[in-house]
């Protein structure tokens, strides 16, 4: 019975990770619901507070510029983590884009714990019973865990944004898929959906318009180097890397491996239209997304939770098939 309960919990958590960026709230029956007009109006009239993780502190001016360019759904303010508690305890009309943790700690010897870390867009209070009891949740951005992040997650199941343990998420944790360029992509996607007052879930189904795949038959697909990180069974990162040629063996079109920093710069330069992969891994799943740099439009997305923690070639095989069908 305990095994069945654990399996159901894992399945529920995996359903939450099919998307890397999505907007809306997932209730207990795993049905996606839209924020209603009242909640959207509350968000739009608020000032969104974004507390910079230490990983982005050196890019504060750049992050400010990104928000000015792409975040139009509400006013915004960029702050340091040490200032967050003052905003949380104030009576101001604030929404928050903060790091959060989702996890399950087993109480049995035969199961391991698992964790997810993400940016959560939320406000105090809500107008719908199916939403969180205390907060209105508007969306989330899943982050890719490093070893340090997994260790820091332990003990964070009680969400206290002012706790010393939680502070480590901002001051100590690092994430493979968090750079100014990637953040620009996430914010653009989230802002576009919320501004249209319509929820579109970027969940495991990709884009129905086949024409959007056609350019990939000729354009280079840029793949971040961290996708080659290899893990052992205990989630420790190995010195050995995945073989990129094996990973891309079933993708017959042009591709290029690129560092996260160089890809981030390429996204921000906006000198050309190109296509790139953002890869996210947490304790129980891997998610892959392909974006168009010109408008941060999602071209294709998929996720899986089988076969360990390493990236799999089947995503690129599936992408290749969609491109082939589109150009016929």
Q: Are strands 255-258 and 237-241 parallel, antiparallel or unpaired?
A: unpaired
In this predicted structure, the answer to whether residue 60 has a pLDDT above a threshold of 60 is: yes
Instruction: Clarify whether residues 233 and 191 are in a common domain.
Output: no
* Residue 8 located in a structural domain: no
Comparing CA positions, the residue from 105, 86, 110 lying closest to residue 13 is 105
Q: What pTM did the predictor assign? A: 0.85
Residue 82 and residue 25: Cα distance in Å, rounded? 28
Instruction: Clarify whether residues 322 and 266 are in a common domain.
Output: yes
Count of domains forming the chain: 2
Instruction: Clarify whether residues 91 and 177 are in a common domain.
Output: yes
Residue 314 and residue 306: Cα distance in Å, rounded? 11
Per-residue pLDDT band at 249 (split at 50, 70, 90): very high
* Residue 30 located in a structural domain: yes
Instruction: Clarify whether residues 180 and 44 are in a common domain.
Output: yes
Digit-coded pLDDT (tens) for 71-80:
999 999 999 9
Instruction: Clarify whether residues 215 and 265 are in a common domain.
Output: yes
Which range marks the domain in which residue 148 is found? 18-195
* Residue 201 located in a structural domain: no
Instruction: Clarify whether residues 191 and 309 are in a common domain.
Output: no
Which of the residue ranges 132-141, 162-171, 247-256, 281-290 would you say has the lowest mean pLDDT?
Answer: 132-141
> Could you give the C-alpha distances from 48 to 72, 122, 142, 238, in angstroms and in order?
10, 9, 19, 39
* Residue where a domain terminates, one of 164, 195, 226: 195
Instruction: Clarify whether residues 64 and 93 are in a common domain.
Output: yes
Look at residue 129 in the predicted model and tell me its pLDDT: 42
Q: Which residues contact 45 (CB under 8 A, 6 or more apart)?
A: 74, 93
Instruction: Clarify whether residues 177 and 268 are in a common domain.
Output: no
In this predicted structure, the answer to whether residue 201 has a pLDDT above a threshold of 70 is: no
Q: What is the mean pLDDT of residues 258-274?
A: 93
* Residue where a domain terminates, one of 195, 229, 255: 195
Instruction: Clarify whether residues 101 and 149 are in a common domain.
Output: yes
Instruction: Clarify whether residues 182 and 269 are in a common domain.
Output: no
Q: What is the mean pLDDT of residues 261-270?
A: 94
* Residue 205 located in a structural domain: no
Instruction: Clarify whether residues 49 and 111 are in a common domain.
Output: yes
Longest CA pairwise span in the chain (Å) = 58
Q: Which residues contact 323 (CB under 8 A, 6 or more apart)?
A: 213, 214, 216, 217, 253
In this predicted structure, the answer to whether residue 40 has a pLDDT above a threshold of 50 is: yes
Instruction: Clarify whether residues 189 and 217 are in a common domain.
Output: no
Digit-coded pLDDT (tens) for 269-327:
977 899 999 998 876 678 899 999 988 888 888 887 666 678 999 999 999 999 999 99
Q: Which residues contact 108 (CB under 8 A, 6 or more apart)?
A: 2, 6
* Residue 47 located in a structural domain: yes
């Amino acid at each position: 019975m305990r095994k069945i309960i654990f399996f159901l919990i894992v399945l529920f958590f995996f359903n939450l990770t099919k998307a890397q960026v999505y907007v809306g709230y997932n209730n207990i029956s795993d049905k996606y619901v839209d924020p209603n007009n009242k909640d959207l109006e509350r968000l739009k009239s608020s000032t969104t507070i974004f507390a910079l993780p230490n990983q982005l502190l050196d890019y504060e001016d750049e992050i400010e510029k990104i928000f000015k360019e792409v975040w139009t759904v509400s006013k915004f303010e960029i702050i340091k983590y040490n200032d967050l508690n003052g905003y949380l305890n104030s009576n101001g009309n604030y929404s928050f884009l903060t790091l959060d943790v989702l996890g399950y700690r087993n109480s049995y010897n035969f199961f391991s714990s698992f964790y997810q870390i993400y940016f959560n867009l939320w406000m105090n209070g809500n107008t719908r019973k199916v939403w969180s009891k205390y907060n209105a949740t508007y969306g989330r951005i899943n982050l890719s865990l490093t070893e340090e992040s997994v260790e820091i997650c332990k003990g964070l199941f009680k969400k206290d944004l002012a706790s010393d343990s939680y502070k480590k998420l901002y001051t100590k944790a690092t994430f493979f898929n968090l750079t100014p360029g990637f953040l620009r992509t996430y914010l653009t996607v989230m802002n576009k959906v919320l501004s249209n007052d319509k929820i579109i879930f970027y969940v495991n189904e990709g884009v129905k318009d086949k024409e959007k795949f056609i350019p990939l038959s000729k354009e280079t697909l840029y793949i971040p180097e961290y996708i080659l990180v290899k893990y052992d069974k205990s989630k420790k990162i190995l010195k050995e890397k995945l073989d990129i040629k094996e990973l891309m063996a079933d993708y017959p079109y042009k591709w290029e491996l690129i560092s996260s920093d160089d890809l981030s710069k390429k996204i921000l330069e906006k000198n050309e239209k190109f296509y790139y992969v953002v890869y996210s891994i947490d304790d129980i799943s891997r998610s892959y997304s392909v974006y168009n740099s010109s408008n941060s439009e999602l071209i294709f997305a998929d996720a899986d939770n089988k076969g360990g923690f390493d990236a799999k070639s089947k995503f690129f095989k599936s992408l290749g098939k969609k491109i082939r069908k589109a150009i016929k």
